Amino acid sequence: MTRGSLPRLIGALVLASTPPLAAQTFRTDDPVIRQIWTEGMDHSQAERLAQVLLDSIGPRLSGSPAYASAVQWLSGMYQSWGIPVRTEQYGTWRGWRQGLLHVDLLAPRLRALEGHLLAWSPGTNGPIEGDVIAVPELSSPAEATAWLRSVRGKIVLASAPEAICREPQAFAELATAETVERAIAARRASQASWDARLDALGRRQAHRRLEDAGAIAVVTSRWSEGWGVNKVFSAATERAVSVDLSCEDYGLLYRLTSHDQGPRVRIDAQAEATGVAPMFNVIAELRGSELPDEYVLLGAHLDSWHAASGATDNGTGSVMMAEAMRILQAAYPHPRRTIIVGHWGGEEQGLIGSNAFAEDHQDIVDNVQVAFNQDNGTWRVDYIQAQGFSRAGGSLARWLGQIPDEIAQHIELDVPGPQERGGSDHMSFLCRGVPSFRFQSNYPDYRQYTWHTDRDTYDKIVFDDLKNNATLAAMMAYLASEDPERVPRDRSVLPPGANGTPRAWAQCFPARRAAN
């Protein structure tokens, strides 16, 4: 998201040093706001919730036993707080259980390699060994077909290697300009060469063609441009094991291969396809006392990728919204409008859980006062965009004006905003005309180091910020519930797209309720 030139109603005033949030004081005439602050800052359960979710349950890949455990645990937490909760099955997904993985270099020397299985990869049924080869330069599909005859029994490197695994910002700062330019040019040339190789294999079918030709493993590396961090997604193979290796370990294998130094690797991958698994959303609500058929909707996705703990994508969002509901139960148990929280499944597979909920609950969609979603990282919320609603900014500004400065001073409000189309669950409601907004934190750090990576772990959470965010969510839900006015749904003319004409409003698509 580009923010530099966008208008602001509330500017960020970031203080160089502030005392801990729980020690701060503020003035308010609203006893509920004060009670929310006390409950959220002085009696927070965020650390306890995060520790269980991230350390004990761990990554929550769709279709995995851990996702089912997270659904059960979260439902139990709401029950323990006295908050009505239900699980709603919206579909199914590929069941998969991941065990241990060992990847070891056997020749020309011994070394344990850092790797992760790609999601839904088959296992190895015991250790396998093979010589390592790389996809060579291929000038045509015919040449690719001829080369495939050589891959039987081999472990195949199938992505471009990185010559330098230093984070770009440090490299740009500390290397000479000439060195940086050469490195950029070399990287572009390498990627272009690999694009041509995969195109010759038939890019979308490349990994399947490798396993059909008898490769026993397909090895890739998707560096996230940070120290020791890779993005890890899903496998395209059904029989050959699919493994992601760290930037340097992949580079090591590639250099050994390209210099004919005979690399040989052993892989022991434990993984099991467990059939079709049911998928659920967890829905909790505080029923409205005056307007029970109007709704304030909080949301965050519960699922994650599998190579780390899913801490900032989106364990922090899940904890934030659960904690906000706990705070509201303690400070505001009888809201004017009904307050619902949705812990969505299948976000990583295309916003499935939230989209299915919207399809299945038209009555709620039609009567949502406002929806707030959170889906990126730790750090405090610092940006809220009105998502192209021309008059909704008045409601947002009015509520933020009642939030203590200790929280509100850090938040930039962008009205009406260019409408952020990123793949997050706010889109499932935004496309239906619902005033659906994101509580957003700093993006660059998140994108580089924890978004979909093997470093998205508990230690990345800043709990002062998480407490701040949960308290903010509870306060905004309270203020939206009590507001005598409905949030306007008027749409602005969106900024021009690439063709110079105003962009169309976000469009909905059917929820994909099964993997096949």
In a domain, 499, yes or no: no
Tell me if 388 is assigned to some domain.
yes
> Mean pLDDT over residues 24-41, rounded?
86
* 171 and 121 within one domain: yes
C-alpha distances (whole Å) from 206 to each of 6, 98, 141, 154, 359 are 43, 24, 11, 15, 36
pLDDT exceeds cutoff 80 at 372: yes
pLDDT of 34 > 60? The answer is: yes
List 279's β-bridge partners, or say none.
91
Residue 400 backbone phi and psi in degrees, to 5: -60, -30
For 110, left (φ over 0), alpha (ψ -120 to 50), or beta? beta
Total structural domains in the chain? Answer: 2
Claim to verify: residue 292 and residue 266 sit in the same structural domain: no
- Per-residue CA distances from 121 to 64, 154, 326 (Å): 13, 17, 38
What is the spatial distance between Cα 285 and Cα 299, in angstroms, rounded to a whole number? 12
The answer to whether 292 and 30 have CB atoms below 8 angstroms apart is no
* pLDDT at 498 (0 to 100): 83
For residue range 265-278, what is the model confidence (pLDDT) as tens digits?
999 999 999 999 99
Mean pLDDT of the chain: 94
In a domain, 500, yes or no: no
Q: For CA atoms 417, 418, 422, 427, give the dihedral sign.
A: positive
Q: Are residues 299 and 359 in the same domain?
A: yes
Q: CA-to-CA distance for 277 and 133, rounded, in angstroms?
A: 36
What pLDDT shows up at residue 493? 93
What are 321's strand-pairing partners?
A: none
Domain boundary among 238, 272, 306: 272
pLDDT of residue 27: 59
Residue 494: inside a domain, yes or no? no
Burial call 30-52: b when 16+ CB within 10 Å, e when fewer = eebbebbbebbbeebbbeebbee
| 227-236 mean pLDDT | 97
Tell me, yes or no, whether 140 and 181 share the same domain. Answer: yes
pLDDT of residue 26: 58
66-71 long-range contacts, CB within 8 A, separation 24+: 67/277, 67/279, 67/302, 67/303, 67/345, 68/277, 70/302, 71/280, 71/282, 71/302, 71/345
* Residue range of the domain that includes 148: 100-272
Asked whether 133 and 213 are in contact (CB, 8 A), the reply is: no
Residue 299 in any domain: the answer is yes
CA dist., res. 403 & res. 439, Å (int): 14
Check whether 508 has a pLDDT greater than 80.
yes
Question: Has residue 422 got a pLDDT over 90?
Answer: no
Residue 127 lies in a domain: yes
Closest CA to 14 of 396, 408, 474: 408
**Per the domain annotation, does 231 fall within a domain?**
yes
220 bridge partner residues:
244
Lowest mean pLDDT among 7-21, 350-364, 386-400: 7-21
Q: Is the pLDDT of residue 131 over 90?
A: yes
Looking at the fold, whether 45 and 166 belong to one and the same domain comes out as no
Say whether both 78 and 128 belong to one domain.
no
Domain boundary among 212, 240, 272: 272
Is residue 303 pLDDT above 60, yes or no?
yes
Q: Rounded to two decimals, what is the model's pTM?
A: 0.93
pLDDT level of residue 516 (50, 70, 90 thresholds): confident
Instruction: Give the CATH number for residue 80.
Output: 3.40.630.10
pLDDT > 70: percent of the chain: 95
Do 183 and 305 belong together in one domain?
no
Joined together, the tokens standing for residue 84 give 């009505």
pLDDT band at 6 (very low <50, low <70, confident <90, very high): very low
| Residue 306 belongs to some domain of the structure | yes
Residue 200: CATH number of its domain: 3.50.30.30
Indicate if 326 and 216 belong to the same structural domain: no
Any residues with CB less than 8 A from the CB of 21 and at least 6 apart, and which?
41, 406, 464, 467, 468
pLDDT of residue 204: 92
Please indicate, yes or no, whether residues 109 and 217 belong to a single structural domain of this protein: yes
Residues 466, 328 share a domain: yes
> Do 389 and 429 sit in the same domain of this protein?
yes
* Same domain flag for 257 and 314: no
Q: Report the C-alpha gap between 451 and 232 in whole angstroms.
A: 10
Q: Which two tokens stand for residue 516?
A: 């096949």
Structure tokens at 474: 């509870």
pLDDT for 28 equals: 73
Model confidence pLDDT, tens digit, residues 315-370: 999 999 999 999 999 999 999 999 999 999 999 999 999 999 999 999 999 999 99
Q: Which of 230, 246, 272 is where one domain is finished?
A: 272
Q: What is the DSSP letter of 39?
A: I
Query: Considering only 18-22, 422-426, 472-476, which range has the smallest mean pLDDT?
Result: 18-22
**Count of alpha carbons within 13 Å of 330, Cβ hemisphere only?**
24
Confidence bin at 62 (pLDDT 50/70/90)? very high
Q: What is the DSSP string of 310-352?
A: -IIIIIHHHHHHHHHHHHHHHH-SS-SEEEEEEEES-GGGTSH
Q: What is the pLDDT of residues 63-93, one digit of tens each?
A: 999 999 999 999 999 999 999 999 999 999 9
